[in-house]
DNA sequence: AAATTCAGCAACCGCCGATTT
DNA sequence: TAAATCGGCGGTTGCTGAATT
């Protein structure tokens, strides 16, 4: 016989998570840490399957997740890594701190695919679009050294590097110390605010805080930072803009990000790409060395591989190429 | 102003390798 | 060793708000 099932399939709730459920889940994880998902529904009383709990945590509630617009730098990274790795969203996400694989996947499907198709048709007007051609074509057009990865073996080599470099990811288990869980209350805070915004009397199931004080009460009961005063904004756009600003300001991760979208700003970001990424990798290595030294004394993080350096350098070159082309639109 | 279409994204589904009993 | 679930991943769906007609 195998293991007993993680949860009873009968009476499992589906659909969007409510703030109440989120609070229960976050509270539990703050106390016990992520993992052992099969015990979460039982121990919390949540009418969700363990998979749903894990997904909610990893894609939304986990600390350090950045939401909102992707920077040109992030865009370039995704395009390049997708060309190299294919639709390995988890692997790509490991190179983009603060972004979830789901977010990257969504962004690729809704934004970048179209963008690249546009570019592709501009570069090759006679090309007949097809579902699989985009990636292949982009691969040829933007990865000038793609011959380096023509064989499966070489692709596996890169995967090995990716696996190795997962140690650099803030998302791997070793670097998620329990002290960081507190910041997930910010996610809850944000969620509650968005939920209030979208709540309507037509949905009687939701227990909507009636005013900002109620919201703050809920937040304070969670020990949340209530850094955003939503009462003074006239329009939704103004509200959203200021909320995003407050959110960005209160973000737990201080890694430098540039949200500018105009061309000059974009190029500036791209030009700083290599340095920034190398600096980031070094920082993450330092973090991991510190973390590991707690877990396993005297362990050493491997240095940057030649191939990884190549990846960054290539990324810089191709992204700049992309930017030159994108100025056509 | 109402109806329709489009776009974005959270969450579900199904598959697969790892793990447990 | 076999059988069953877990955990993780990528593909897809369906809901909601925005944009367009």
The spacing between the Cα labelled CA in A37 and the C1' in C7, in angstroms, equals 9
What are the distances in angstroms from CA A97 to CA A1, A94, A188, A251, A325?
41, 7, 20, 13, 27
Q: Which nucleotide is nearest to A5 (CA to C1')?
A: C5
* Better-predicted residue by pLDDT, A65 or A132: A65
First to last CA, chain A: 61
User: Which residues from 76-115 of A have any strand B atom under 7 Å from their CB?
Assistant: 102-103, 105-107, 109-111
Rounded to whole angstroms, the Cα distance separating A36 from A23 reads 18
Q: Take residue A321 and report the two structure tokens written for it.
A: 């190429």
A11 in contact with nucleic chain B (CB within 7 A): no
Q: Which nucleotides of B are covered by protein (CB under 7 A)?
A: 7-14, 19-21
Identify whether A103 is part of a domain.
no
Identify whether A28 is part of a domain.
yes
Number of domains in chain A: 1
Identify whether A262 is part of a domain.
no
Identify whether A3 is part of a domain.
yes
- Chain segment A215-249, per-residue pLDDT in tens: 333 333 333 333 333 333 333 333 333 333 333 33
Rounded to whole angstroms, the Cα distance separating A203 from A195 reads 12
The spacing between the Cα labelled CA in A30 and the C1' in B7, in angstroms, equals 35
The spacing between the Cα labelled CA in A182 and the C1' in B8, in angstroms, equals 29
pLDDT of residue A190: 52
pLDDT of residue A188: 56
Identify whether A235 is part of a domain.
no
**Which residue range(s) make up the domain with A53?**
1-61
The mean of the pLDDT values for chain A is 56
The spacing between the Cα labelled CA in A88 and the C1' in C9, in angstroms, equals 9
Identify whether A35 is part of a domain.
yes
Task: Calculate the CA A93 to chain-centre distance.
Answer: 6
Identify whether A199 is part of a domain.
no
Is residue A68 within 8 Å of A98, Cβ to Cβ? Answer: no
Q: Take residue A266 and report the two structure tokens written for it.
A: 């974009």
In this structure, what CATH number is given to the domain that contains residue A44? 1.10.10.60
- Other C-beta atoms lying within 10 Å of the C-beta of residue A18: 15
- Chain segment A88-113, per-residue pLDDT in tens: 999 999 998 789 999 999 999 988 88
Q: Rounded to the nearest 10 degrees, what angle do helices A72-85 and A133-142 cross at?
A: 110
Identify whether A13 is part of a domain.
yes
- Per-residue confidence at A126, pLDDT binned at 50, 70, 90? low
Q: Provide, for chain A, the percentages of residues in helix, strand and coil under a 3-state DSSP scheme, each rounded to the nearest 5.
A: 65, 0, 35
What are the distances in angstroms from CA A282 to CA A167, A247, A261, A286, A289?
12, 26, 27, 6, 10
- Residue at the smallest CA–C1' distance to nucleotide B10: A16
């Amino acid at each position: 016989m195998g293991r007993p099932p993680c949860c009873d399939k009968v009476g499992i709730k589906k659909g969007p998570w409510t703030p109440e459920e989120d609070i229960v889940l976050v509270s539990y994880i703050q106390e016990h840490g992520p993992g052992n998902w099969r015990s979460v529904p039982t121990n919390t009383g949540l009418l969700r399957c363990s998979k749903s709990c894990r997904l909610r945590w990893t894609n939304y509630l986990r600390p350090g997740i950045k939401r909102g617009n992707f920077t040109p730098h992030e865009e370039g990274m995704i395009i390049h890594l997708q060309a190299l790795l294919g639709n390995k969203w988890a692997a790509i996400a490991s190179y983009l701190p603060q972004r979830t694989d789901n977010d990257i996947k969504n962004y690729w499907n809704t934004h970048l695919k179209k963008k690249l198709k546009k570019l592709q048709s501009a570069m090759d007007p006679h090309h007949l679009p097809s579902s699989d051609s985009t990636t292949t074509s982009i691969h040829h057009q933007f990865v000038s050294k793609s011959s380096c990865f023509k064989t499966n073996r070489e692709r596996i080599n890169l995967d090995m590097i990716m696996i190795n470099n997962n140690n650099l990811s803030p998302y791997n288990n070793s670097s998620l110390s329990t002290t960081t869980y507190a910041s997930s209350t910010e996610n809850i805070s944000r969620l509650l605010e968005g939920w209030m915004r979208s709540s309507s009397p037509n949905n009687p199931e939701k227990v909507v805080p009636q005013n900002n004080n109620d919201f703050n009460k809920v937040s304070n009961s969670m020990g949340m930072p209530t850094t955003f005063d939503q009462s003074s904004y006239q329009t939704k756009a103004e509200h959203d803009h200021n909320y995003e600003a407050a959110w960005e300001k209160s973000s737990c991760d201080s890694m430098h990000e540039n949200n500018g979208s105009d061309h000059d700003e974009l190029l500036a970001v791209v030009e700083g790409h290599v340095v920034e990424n190398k600096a980031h990798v070094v920082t993450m290595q330092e973090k991991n060395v510190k973390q590991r030294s707690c877990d396993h004394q005297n362990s050493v993080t491997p240095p940057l591989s030649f191939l990884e350096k190549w990846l960054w350098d290539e990324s810089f070159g191709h992204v700049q190429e992309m930017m030159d082309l994108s100025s056509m639109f």
